[in-house]
Structure 1
Amino acid sequence: MQVTIKRLGHRGDGIADGPIYVAGALPDEVVEGDVQDGRMAAPTVVSASADRVHPDCPHYGTCGGCQVMHASDPFVGRWKIDVVRQALAAHDLPAPIKGIATSPPQSRRRAVLSGRRGKDGAVVGFHGRRSDQIVGVPDCRVLHPDIIAAFPLLRDLTERLAPRGGEMSLTVTTSKNGLDIAITGAGAVAQKTATELVRIVSEAGIARLTVDGDTLLRAVDPAQTVAGVSMVPAPGAFLQATPHGESALIACVSRALGDAGHVVDLFAGCGTFALPISRRAQVHAAEGDKAMTDALLAAWRKGRGHRPLTAETRDLFSDPLTADELSRFDAAVIDPPRAGSEAQMHQIAASKLGRVAAVSCNPVTFARDAKVLTEAGFAMEWIRVVDQFRWSTHVELAAAFTRA
């Protein structure tokens, strides 16, 4: 069957009339192949788009991580901007988008990898496209070189720890003092195995190894530098994926806050925004994970020249800051998980806050929550798309809201 691709879907598939979803196709291309259940899984490109490029990765055909590496960078940038625009249009919202900031190749400092033991040895990597099969990615084009260099070690750890017939997760983060490895899904570790693991990772220069919440080795602090302050995150803690993306988001948040002197940081994490903001404003941070709150406060205490910072551990989904609590502040930063934070947004809308710096990793839930603010009298001044997950379908953004 031969079809013409009309547009690119938000999951990276080309879409033809029907609809027919075509893997690896681009708009205006003519492709042919067998169609089953509305999908063409193995298309032959009859007429290629001018935006088609050769994927610069030997794992592209099997790994599910970089779904749009076959498209030119300018095309991917325009497409990600359009994903945000379409999400906003679904709620009749404007899209004052001010470009896109794309992280360079091999800059991913944090990755959540999967590991499994098999007959031919252990494999560590990402899942394949629409598959539970793990694809080894020793020549990955997005991961930091320090993570790539550790793949033999990660496979060794997987061989020793992964449950038979199952898989485990390895969160690997670069730091200025060596890699920080947090493993989950391994189960109980025998004392003899733990002793051997400590020897192996010590010889490899690993900063910290944690297995299912138990820190087996902390040779040195796996420290990150945030706003000139050394911060030690909790094992496996969320961090922005690339330093470039983190810098772009911090710049956006700073611009959105303006001269606000008293700021509340919602879903503050380990302090990605709270620490830089505290250099010029008083900050109160709220975060649901106590280990992250503790890391934030410990880092702030090391700072010099920072304004007062307080923090509380609070589940903002079930117990959002109320409108009265929020009205004590001049501005808010909010960076929720992919599900967004509709309940917290309603409290912001009902408060006396004048400015909101919103960060999101999901344009769909961002648009839903932005509608709550605009209906309460906030104006969306601008949006900046941030592409930390280069060549993937993942889209992040930062936006500024002011109350009229």
Structure 2
Amino acid sequence: MNQPGRILRIAAKGEGQTADGRYVTLAAPGDVLEADGTLTHGPDHAAAACRHFPACGGCQLQHLSDRALADHVRGRVEGAARGQGLDPGEVAPPHLSPPASRRRAKLHAQVIGKRVLLGFREQGSHKIVDIKECPVLAPELAALIPPFRRLLETRADRSLSADIALTLADQGPTVDLSGITMQGLAQTEAMLDFAQAHAVARLTLDQGDGPETVWEPDPVTVTLSGVPVGLPPGAFLQATSDGEAALISAAREWLAGAPTIADLFSGLGTFAFALAGPGTKVLAVEAARDAHLACQAAARINGRPVHALHRDLFRGPLQIEELNRFAAVLLDPPRAGARDQVALLAGSAVPRIVYISCNPASWAKDAATLVEGGYRLAGLVPVGQFRWSTHVELASLFVKG
């Protein structure tokens, strides 16, 4: 019998939940909430890897051991399925991305008095935690934080409030800035000197009319399954290369032998290029024009059997007669899911569907629709790309009949 104060699990927002239903911040499974309110740590309570935890909102779960973190990732996926009345079946071991592997992140900068604060926001707050280290980021991105802070400190603008999106491309880190203006030759030269000195692959500046490239010595690409694809500013990219590989591995295994595949919400072609090859043609459907054109150009240049289609699947989902032309469908929608497209898939005759999701809750609702339409949940792989975060992703397989 469980002690009333024993922490049994981690809830969706990162708090520990006791056997009697209480929620405790910074508690790990196996910890015990004592009668006096103190917390006795158990074997899965770990020392934080970063000096900024728990103030920094980038991580919520650095106090968990890897075992507890893996259990949480798997539990989020299983719990979402059961919440919709679905049997998750045999769930694969979770994949956890290692520290220092995040290849994209969005930081914030603000001037407070004479100080420049640069980092992530506190959870549930607009307050910025001025980070000196980040064990999550890839080293190439983390290395830009101190020199970029120094660059901002040279500016006279005391009302600065900016966003800095960092992405690791084939040629090195890209930096997309918004909320910063370059006034005069000195500021422009300082920004370009920063980019050159720190091997920035591309620097863009959004001064209110969209991102404008101010530095890009060579065309920026990201290699997807051996295919260099142009990387437009702001284009979606899986958070870690190893997490991407885990999702691709599941999709390849489940869709092996399918002669025709529709890749819906295809983005740059992360899954399309992984699945296309001898004996397999892929239709890559994407609404974002820049990503669609990048995928189309890469397929043409590299001779891959990927046909890119520009189409908004929220306004114009593929109809049942279109879906039935394919031996398999893969979809990787935004966090809200793909209710209308999934409803049409549920009524189709597509033999196999692979659903990639970054939100177990919306995935579970869509999964229930597929099951109601005659599909069976036949495979489930939890993926924790956002290490020490409550953010969980997954790959799933649905089979007709």
When normalised by structure 1's length, the TM-score is 0.90
Q: Give 1:282's aligned amino acid.
A: K
TM-aligned CA deviation for residue 266 of structure 1: 0.6
Query: Counterpart in 1 of 2:47?
Result: 54
Equivalent pairs counted in the alignment come to 391
The whole-number CA distance in structure 1 between the counterparts of 2:44 and 2:110 is 37
Are the structure 2 counterparts of residues 161 and 83 from structure 1 closer, same or farther at C-alpha, using a change threshold of 3 Å?
farther
> How do 1:376-395 and structure 2 match up within 5 A?
376-395=373-392
Are the structure 2 counterparts of residues 28 and 206 from structure 1 closer, same or farther at C-alpha, using a change threshold of 3 Å?
closer
> How do 1:36-115 and structure 2 match up within 5 A?
44-45=38-39, 47-96=40-89, 97-115=91-109
Query: Counterpart in 1 of 2:270?
Result: 272
Query: Counterpart in 2 of 1:39?
Result: none
TM-aligned CA deviation for residue 90 of structure 1: 1.1
TM-aligned CA deviation for residue 206 of structure 1: 1.0
The whole-number CA distance in structure 2 between the counterparts of 1:301 and 1:153 is 39
Query: Counterpart in 2 of 1:221?
Result: 219
2:131 maps to which of 130, 134, 137: 137
- Cα pair 2:172 2:201 within 8 Å, conserved: yes
Q: Give 1:356's aligned amino acid.
A: I
The whole-number CA distance in structure 2 between the counterparts of 1:33 and 1:108 is 40
1:243 maps to which of 224, 229, 241: 241
> How do 1:128-207 and structure 2 match up within 5 A?
128-156=122-150, 158-159=152-153, 165=159, 167-186=161-180, 188-190=181-183, 192=185, 193-207=187-201
Q: Give 1:50's aligned amino acid.
A: P
Deviates more, 1:338-347 or 1:322-331: 322-331
The whole-number CA distance in structure 2 between the counterparts of 1:237 and 1:118 is 31
The whole-number CA distance in structure 1 between the counterparts of 2:35 and 2:126 is 24
- Cα pair 2:73 2:383 within 8 Å, conserved: no
Query: Counterpart in 1 of 2:290?
Result: 291
The whole-number CA distance in structure 1 between the counterparts of 2:75 and 2:42 is 18
Query: Counterpart in 1 of 2:300?
Result: 301
- Cα pair 1:109 1:143 within 8 Å, conserved: yes
- Cα pair 1:206 1:219 within 8 Å, conserved: no
When normalised by structure 2's length, the TM-score is 0.91
Aligned-residue Cα RMSD (Å) equals 2.2
The whole-number CA distance in structure 1 between the counterparts of 2:35 and 2:221 is 51
TM-aligned CA deviation for residue 202 of structure 1: 2.1
The whole-number CA distance in structure 1 between the counterparts of 2:154 and 2:319 is 48
In structure 2, the residue corresponding to 1:333 is in which secondary structure? strand
Query: Counterpart in 2 of 1:328?
Result: 325
Query: Percent identity, aligned pairs only?
Result: 35
TM-aligned CA deviation for residue 291 of structure 1: 0.3
The whole-number CA distance in structure 1 between the counterparts of 2:330 and 2:156 is 39
Q: Give 1:23's aligned amino acid.
A: T
TM-aligned CA deviation for residue 156 of structure 1: 4.3
> How do 1:364-379 and structure 2 match up within 5 A?
364-379=361-376
The whole-number CA distance in structure 2 between the counterparts of 1:28 and 1:228 is 44
Are the structure 2 counterparts of residues 403 and 162 from structure 1 closer, same or farther at C-alpha, using a change threshold of 3 Å?
farther
Are the structure 2 counterparts of residues 90 and 160 from structure 1 closer, same or farther at C-alpha, using a change threshold of 3 Å?
farther
In structure 2, the residue corresponding to 1:136 is in which secondary structure? coil
Are the structure 2 counterparts of residues 243 and 6 from structure 1 closer, same or farther at C-alpha, using a change threshold of 3 Å?
closer
- Cα pair 1:162 1:185 within 8 Å, conserved: no
Query: Counterpart in 2 of 1:263?
Result: 261
The whole-number CA distance in structure 1 between the counterparts of 2:313 and 2:105 is 26
The whole-number CA distance in structure 2 between the counterparts of 1:162 and 1:79 is 46
In structure 2, the residue corresponding to 1:366 is in which secondary structure? helix
Establish whether residue 10 from structure 1 lines up as the match of residue 12 from structure 2. yes
Deviates more, 1:16-25 or 1:271-280: 16-25
Q: Give 1:51's aligned amino acid.
A: D
Deviates more, 1:72-81 or 1:314-323: 314-323
TM-aligned CA deviation for residue 264 of structure 1: 0.7
Are the structure 2 counterparts of residues 26 and 162 from structure 1 closer, same or farther at C-alpha, using a change threshold of 3 Å?
farther
Q: Give 1:48's aligned amino acid.
A: H
Query: Counterpart in 2 of 1:356?
Result: 353
Establish whether residue 252 from structure 1 lines up as the match of residue 250 from structure 2. yes
Are the structure 2 counterparts of residues 32 and 184 from structure 1 closer, same or farther at C-alpha, using a change threshold of 3 Å?
farther
Residue-by-residue CA offset, 1:48-89 (whole Å, 9 max, x unaligned): 222111112111132122211111101110121111111111
Deviates more, 1:24-33 or 1:148-157: 24-33
The whole-number CA distance in structure 2 between the counterparts of 1:243 and 1:78 is 22
TM-aligned CA deviation for residue 373 of structure 1: 0.7
The whole-number CA distance in structure 1 between the counterparts of 2:178 and 2:321 is 40
- Cα pair 1:229 1:302 within 8 Å, conserved: no
Residue-by-residue CA offset, 1:339-387 (whole Å, 9 max, x unaligned): 1111110111122211111100010001000011111111111100111
Q: Give 2:369's aligned amino acid.
A: V
Are the structure 2 counterparts of residues 296 and 345 from structure 1 closer, same or farther at C-alpha, using a change threshold of 3 Å?
same
TM-aligned CA deviation for residue 314 of structure 1: 1.8
Name stretches of at least 5 consecutive residues in structure 1 with no aligned partner. 35-42
Establish whether residue 124 from structure 1 lines up as the match of residue 122 from structure 2. no
The whole-number CA distance in structure 1 between the counterparts of 2:399 and 2:20 is 42
Are the structure 2 counterparts of residues 5 and 131 from structure 1 closer, same or farther at C-alpha, using a change threshold of 3 Å?
same
